[in-house]
Amino acid sequence: MIWLVASALLFSIGAYGALTRRTAILVFLSIELMLNAAALSLISFSKLTGSLDAQVVVLFIIAIAAAEVAVGLGLIVAIFRRRETTSVDELRQLRG
Amino acid sequence: MQETLLLPLIIALPLLGFVILGLFGKRIGEPTAGWLASLLVLGSFLLGLFVLLQGGGKWTLSEWLPGIPFSLNLDNLSGVMLMVVAGVGFLIHVWAIGYMHGDPGYSRFFSYFNLFIAAMLVLILGDSLPVVFIGWEGVGLASYLLIGFWYQERVNADSARKAFIVNRIGDLGFLLAMGLLWSMFGTLSISELVEKVEAGGYSFTTLTLAGFFLLIGAIGKSAQVPLMVWLPDAMAGPTPVSALIHAATMVTAGVYLLVRHAFMLHDDAFLSGLIVAIGLLTAFYGALCSLGQWDIKRIVAYTTLSQLGFMFVAVGVGAYWVAIFHIVTHAFFKALMFMASGSVIHALGGEQDVRKMGGMRKYLPATHLHGLIATFASGGLVPLAGFWSKDAILAYSFEYGPWLWFLMLVASVLAALYSIRWYVVVFWGDYRGKEHPHESPPVMLWPNHILSVGALGVGFIGLPYVIDYKNFIEPFLTKAIGDFPHEKLPVLTEWVLILTSAVVAIAALAWGFRFFQQKMPAWYERFQAAALQGFYADALYNTLLVNPAKGLAELLFGGDRGLLAGFAGLGNLMGGLGSLLARLETGSLRFYLAGLLVALVLLVGWGVMR
Amino acid sequence: MIHVGLWLPLLAGLLLFVVPSLGRTFAIASAAVSLAIGVVLFAGYGGQGVAYASQTPFLPEVGVYYAVGLDGAGLLLWIAVSLVVLLGVWVAEVPVRFLALALMMQTGLLGIFAAQDLIFFYAFFEATLIPALFMLWFYGGADRLRAIYIFALFTLVGSLPMLAAIFAVRYLGGAESFLYTDLVAHPLTGQAAALAFLGFLIALAVKTPLFPLHAWLPSFHQQNHPSGLADAMGTLYKVGVFALFKWAIPLMPEGFREWQGLLLFLAAFGALYAAWLAFSVTDWKTLLAYAGISHMGIAALGLFSGNMEGTVGALYLLGASMVYGSAMFLFVGLVYKRTGSLDILPVRGLARHTPALYVLGMFILMAMIGLPGLSGFPGELMALLGAYRVTPWLTFLAFLAVIAAAAYALTAFQKLFQENAQAQAVPDLDAREWGFATVTVGVLLLMGLYPKLFTVYLEPLGKALAALFGGAS
């Protein structure tokens, strides 16, 4: 149970960070926190129910997170090179 | 009545001519094209005669359409019509060889002419109504093509179009009649309809309605009031066309159709009365209009209207065989009248205004003789063809009611007057034009000689019973039409009627002969002005029907654009809603994330609450 | 054989699109082979039921099969489509890639007629739209964007309710799969049927086209390439009557019954409305668009009367109008080639110099206004006979169009060909165009004089449909 509380905490911190930080890097970090919070909750449920399915999913999540970091950081670097900033408040060209 | 392949062959001959001349006409050239067309029609005539002498025949292709066979039937009625169409048609073809000489569309003309004969034969021989309808519209098409033969003049093209459209009103009646008969009896074959109508077991009112629809069709084709407006304009075509289509054959198709359906009409007092009324109106309208015309062909066209009115009255009073008898005699004398007119036009280099004619009896002796015979036959002089058929109509009218007999007598006085007027203004007096009239070539004279013989003598096949107790044509036709017995008039009455109409006709002809040579009195000039315009029927129709219809078309066209704009507006409305939603796309990452989280909270909350 | 016939045009079209240097001859060859296959299939047809049927599981879990086959109606329309495509690629003066698009569209159309599985039917139905849009987009007139917008709006939005209704039919009706045979065995009933039928109806009314959902058609034709090929293909795309006959009515007879009165009225009214309106139209393509709407109104009236005669008439008229309607557009293309304009108003007096073109136009025009002896008449007559039994007054209303049709058609024809004795000289038909003219006239006559050729196969279909409503209604 305690792990579920920890997971909720971790998620909240991540959400708070994602909403308040300006730098894209930090927003990205916070999102990673939320992702791992989800993984953590999956693990704890797995422990509660005794099923291994969730653990398999978590392995996938880790793998995907790794790939995501590579792509995400790459994007941020590319944007910085071009725009000389990573502030999410300034990067709002993607609107309809 | 045996199955015979000769029937489709009768139709195929002129059709073949249409195809050959249509495709290779230019190469065949004149006069071969004309002779080829004529001989094919003669071939149809001879084949038809052969089958008729064998007692008729039929031919069927079953299940042409589901439940509807393609059937042809040559019985005595259609046989007589075939003799008229192919026989008179052949003579007019030959005459046209001379008349159309030198026209750049020479072979095209004969190709259309053959198409007409083929379509007319389909109309006559058809036994199932859709087959009749093929011919029915086919002759309409041929008439359209031939009226507009010189289509480079706008007037001619307009007249052709008018004829087709007005005829289509009648065709709609025909179509609806087919729909109604099909829903009543489940068959459209005339010979089966006869049996089913006799068998009974249907609503009589509905049958009246079916007959009414057919009547509309007949009115359109036979140019009766109120659909008569197209026939005078149809004179825009070459004269052989007027003689063949708009006098001798096609316009009688409506009468033929009604006679074919005599079994539906004969004990329907409403329809009979309606037909009599229409015929009477047309007889008077045509006669009065004819007296005011200056164009030689329009004079004759209106006389045709009047004679068609006579035929309708005959149908209305139940004298079906008389109607056909009158078709036969009329075909001879009216074709003769038209072709005599044509010979005059030919002699004067295309002049059609009678005010620039006159005195032709000196220049064109042979044509003068033809004209005289046609006039007397049409005016009802004893003992020419027109007298006997008209007299039979009068006798039957007397049975229907003496008042009708009296009106018809007045109408036949008018008939005598317009015939003699035509004759006087064209052939008497002094020549008022500047051309050098010349008599027509033999190829145009010989058909007229033959028609003259017919106009003189063909009436003797249908003498009244007081003279010839069993004449030839009545029993011959009633075998096919059906025998509807009627009280014969007493011998004395019959003789009185015959003598009255004979004397009246002679008197009218004599009086007219003097009257039309004088200068016209003022009252006649006033009457003439109105008659020249056909008593303003065209203007009336344009104001009441044609222009409002056009206006409505404009209105609908505008409305339809509005409809599209409405739908496009609906699309734009959706687009507007979309652009409202698009406002949510701020581009701010934080806004999106907040949205995500709010949605998450709501979802989880909803899950917990449940 | 049927598979080859179905997919060959698509492959040929794709190949031609990629390698345009293959040229028109290649397109003609492909179209000719398609037509030949159609004729062979027709010759081998036994006369009853669905022939050449074959089915392969495609997504068996959800009950989707690749199932094709042809009944009498399918065969008639298959041949009509193949013939028109052949005539079109034969005579139309267009870029080669245009021909490729036409060939691709042919597969979609043939698929609509051959599909025996509702999902595949829907797929063909929608996929056909793509080449049509491309034709309009690549080769359309100046104002084509608006036309595309309207066309896409009507067709795409219209199709969505049908997709929903398709699933409703399958799952609420309780069928095992989307196969035609399965669905027909489990027709929908009650309120659901009425709603689902409405879903089909919206999509199919757009493609019939049925008043008032016809509004897209005039702008579609106005903006398409003046050669008339795209218009001819668009005419073939008027499959609404067929789809209503094949799918919507048998699957939801009760639903159809709910809407029958309204539908009869719309069909009859549309027939007269479009014909009347056409009288004040000033260009050929708009005129033909409205003429087509009017004819389809008559066909729909026949179908909606729900008896044998009406159904046979509707299907026959559909097939016939595909031929004469498309031929008329191609004919107008030939006129455009000579005069450079499609307006009706100028008095051109063409007949003097182009007698053969005149005769060709006369034939197609007369077929179009239903002259007996040409292809328009048998269908119109049967539709009339069927409709009259159900609703005499509406039939009368609809067939007033017969008069209006003569008025608009002959008026336009007169302006184009007659009146003007001083017309400018233009060349008459060349050898290629003579080929087009000969075949067209031949087919018009054949369909008009010997309708038995097809109606014997349509009759059982009509009887089957009538049997849904107890024989006669």
Q: Are the beta carbons of A96 and B594 separated by less than 8 Å?
A: no
In C, which residues are within 8 Å of B150 by CB distance?
Answer: none
What whole-number distance in Å separates Cα of residue C168 and Cα of residue C162?
9
Mean pLDDT (whole number) for A29-56: 89
The reply to whether B133 touches chain C by the CB within 8 Å rule is yes
Q: Give the chains touching B; criterion: ≥3 Cβ pairs < 8 Å.
A: A, C
Q: Is the pLDDT of residue B486 over 80?
A: no
pLDDT confidence of residue C445? 93
Nearest CB among A15, A19, A95 relative to B587 is that of A95
Nearest CB among B22, B137, B169 relative to C371 is that of B137
Mean pLDDT (whole number) for B192-199: 88
| Mean pLDDT lowest among B256-260, C57-61, C320-324 | C57-61
Question: Beta strand B68-74 with C64-70: parallel, antiparallel or unpaired?
Answer: unpaired
Closest CA to B531 of B448, B454, B418, B427: B418
CA distance A91 to chain B (A): 7
For residue B590, what is the nearest residue in chain A, using CA coordinates? A19
Task: Give Cα B258 distance to the centre of its chain.
Answer: 13
Mean pLDDT (whole number) for A30-47: 90
What whole-number distance in Å separates Cα of residue C446 and Cα of residue C444?
6
- Residue C434: pLDDT band (50, 70, 90) is very high
- Mean of the per-residue pLDDT values of chain B: 89
The reply to whether B600 touches chain C by the CB within 8 Å rule is no
For residue C422, what is the nearest residue in chain B, using CA coordinates? B152
Length of chain A, in residues: 96
Mean pLDDT (whole number) for B1-14: 87
ipTM of the prediction: 0.92
Residue C423 and residue C353 in contact, taking contact as beta carbons nearer than 8 Å? yes
For residue B248, give the DSSP letter: I
Q: Three-state DSSP class for B600?
A: helix
The reply to whether C387 touches chain B by the CB within 8 Å rule is yes
* Predicted confidence (pLDDT) per residue in C245-287, tens digit: 999 999 888 889 889 999 999 999 999 999 998 888 888 999 9
Q: Are the beta carbons of C381 and B175 separated by less than 8 Å?
A: yes
Task: Copy the structure tokens of residue C158.
Answer: 């219209």
pLDDT confidence of residue C23? 86
Q: Is the pLDDT of residue B9 over 50?
A: yes
First to last CA, chain B: 89
Q: Do chains B and A have 3 or more beta-carbon pairs under 8 angstroms?
A: yes
Output A17 or C174, whichever has higher pLDDT. A17
Nearest CB among B582, B588, B593 relative to A96 is that of B582
Q: Are the beta carbons of C451 and B65 separated by less than 8 Å?
A: yes
Nearest CB among C212, C378, C388 relative to B563 is that of C212
Nearest CB among C215, C384, C458 relative to B179 is that of C384
Q: Locate tokens 């791992």: which residue? A: A36
* Predicted confidence (pLDDT) per residue in B140-168, tens digit: 999 999 998 988 888 899 999 999 999 99
pLDDT confidence of residue B29? 79
pLDDT confidence of residue C153? 84
The reply to whether A10 touches chain B by the CB within 8 Å rule is no
Q: Are the beta carbons of C399 and B141 separated by less than 8 Å?
A: no
Identity of residue B328:
V
pLDDT confidence of residue C472? 45
The reply to whether C373 touches chain B by the CB within 8 Å rule is yes
Question: Beta strand B2-3 with B57-65: parallel, antiparallel or unpaired?
Answer: parallel
Q: Is the pLDDT of residue C473 over 60?
A: no
Task: Give Cα C280 distance to the centre of its chain.
Answer: 24
Q: Are the beta carbons of A95 and B586 separated by less than 8 Å?
A: yes
- Residue C421: pLDDT band (50, 70, 90) is confident
In B, which residues are within 8 Å of A72 by CB distance?
Answer: none
Nearest CB among B151, B179, B557 relative to C418 is that of B151
In C, which residues are within 8 Å of B137 by CB distance?
Answer: 371-373
What whole-number distance in Å separates Cα of residue B454 and Cα of residue B3?
32
Provide the percentage of residues in chain B whose pLDDT is more than 90: 50
Q: Do chains C and A have 3 or more beta-carbon pairs under 8 angstroms?
A: no
What sections of C305-430 are H helices per DSSP? Answer: 308-339, 355-368, 376-390, 392-399, 401-417
pLDDT confidence of residue B1? 67
For residue A90, what is the nearest residue in chain B, using CA coordinates? B588
How far is CA C93 from each of CA C97, C218, C366, C380, rounded to the nearest angstrom?
12, 22, 25, 32
Q: Is the pLDDT of residue A96 over 70?
A: no
Mean pLDDT (whole number) for A53-69: 90
Output C124 or C189, whichever has higher pLDDT. C124
Nearest CB among B137, B553, B568 relative to C280 is that of B553
The reply to whether B148 touches chain C by the CB within 8 Å rule is yes
* Predicted confidence (pLDDT) per residue in B328-355, tens digit: 999 999 999 999 999 999 888 888 888 8
Q: Are the beta carbons of C419 and B63 separated by less than 8 Å?
A: no
What is the full DSSP assignment across C247-299?
IIHHH-HHHHHHHHHHHHHHHHHHHHHHHHHHTT--BHHHHHHHHHHHHHHHH
Mean pLDDT (whole number) for B223-231: 90
pLDDT confidence of residue B303? 93
User: Apex CA B392: angle with CA B303 and CA B89, to 5°?
Assistant: 50
CB atoms within 10 A of CB C437: 23
Residue B462 and residue B393 in contact, taking contact as beta carbons nearer than 8 Å? no
CB atoms within 10 A of CB B104: 9
CA distance C142 to chain B (A): 19
What whole-number distance in Å separates Cα of residue B359 and Cα of residue B527?
25
The reply to whether B179 touches chain C by the CB within 8 Å rule is yes
Q: Determine the residue among B589, B601, B604 to mutate to test chain A binding: the one whose Cβ has the most chain A Cβ atoms within 10 Å.
A: B589
The reply to whether A8 touches chain B by the CB within 8 Å rule is no
For residue A15, what is the nearest residue in chain B, using CA coordinates? B597
Task: Copy the structure tokens of residue C1.
Answer: 């054989």
- List all residues of chain A from 66 to 95 with a beta carbon under 8 Å from chain B: 88-89, 91-95
CA distance B592 to chain A (A): 10
CB atoms within 10 A of CB B27: 9
Q: Give the chains touching C; criterion: ≥3 Cβ pairs < 8 Å.
A: B
What whole-number distance in Å separates Cα of residue B225 and Cα of residue C405?
23
Burial class from Cβ neighbours inside 10 Å (0-12, 13-18, 19+) for residue C208 reads buried
- Residue C471: pLDDT band (50, 70, 90) is low
Provide the percentage of residues in chain B whose pLDDT is more than 70: 100
Task: Copy the structure tokens of residue B383.
Answer: 């003992």
- Residue C141: pLDDT band (50, 70, 90) is confident
The reply to whether A13 touches chain B by the CB within 8 Å rule is no
Q: Three-state DSSP class for C104?
A: helix
In B, which residues are within 8 Å of A95 by CB distance?
Answer: 585-587
* Predicted confidence (pLDDT) per residue in B412-431, tens digit: 999 999 999 999 999 988 88
What whole-number distance in Å separates Cα of residue C91 and Cα of residue B578?
44
Residue C110 and residue C233 in contact, taking contact as beta carbons nearer than 8 Å? no
Nearest CB among A15, A88, A96 relative to B589 is that of A88
Nearest CB among B164, B169, B564 relative to C215 is that of B564
Q: Is the pLDDT of residue C69 over 80?
A: yes
CB atoms within 10 A of CB C99: 29
pLDDT confidence of residue B332? 93
Q: Determine the residue among B133, B158, B560 to mutate to test chain C binding: the one whose Cβ has the most chain C Cβ atoms within 10 Å.
A: B560
What whole-number distance in Å separates Cα of residue B161 and Cα of residue B302?
20
Helix (H) or strand (E) holding C69: strand C64-70
Residue C301 and residue C383 in contact, taking contact as beta carbons nearer than 8 Å? yes
In A, which residues are within 8 Å of B593 by CB distance?
Answer: 18-19
Mean pLDDT (whole number) for B599-609: 91
In B, which residues are within 8 Å of C396 by CB distance?
Answer: 176
CA distance B555 to chain A (A): 42
pLDDT confidence of residue C367? 93
What whole-number distance in Å separates Cα of residue C21 and Cα of residue C10?
17
* Residues in CB range of B420: below 8 A, 6 or more apart: B375, B379, B508, B509, B512, B513, B516
pLDDT confidence of residue A95? 65
The secondary structure of chain B in percent helix, strand, coil, rounded to multiples of 5, reads 75, 5, 20
Q: Are the beta carbons of B582 and A27 separated by less than 8 Å?
A: no
pLDDT confidence of residue B144? 93
Q: Are the beta carbons of A95 and B594 separated by less than 8 Å?
A: no
What whole-number distance in Å separates Cα of residue B340 and Cα of residue B448?
8
Nearest CB among B585, B587, B594 relative to A19 is that of B594
Nearest CB among B582, B590, B594 relative to A88 is that of B590
Mean pLDDT (whole number) for C445-454: 90
The secondary structure of chain A in percent helix, strand, coil, rounded to multiples of 5, reads 80, 0, 20
* Residues in CB range of C332: below 8 A, 6 or more apart: C226, C228, C231, C284, C285, C288, C342
Residue C333 and residue C288 in contact, taking contact as beta carbons nearer than 8 Å? no
In C, which residues are within 8 Å of B550 by CB distance?
Answer: 279-280
Q: Determine the residue among B61, B107, B132, B151 to mutate to test chain C binding: the one whose Cβ has the most chain C Cβ atoms within 10 Å.
A: B151
* Predicted confidence (pLDDT) per residue in A5-16, tens digit: 999 999 999 999
Q: Is the pLDDT of residue C331 over 60?
A: yes
For residue B140, what is the nearest residue in chain C, using CA coordinates? C371
For residue B579, what is the nearest residue in chain A, using CA coordinates? A96
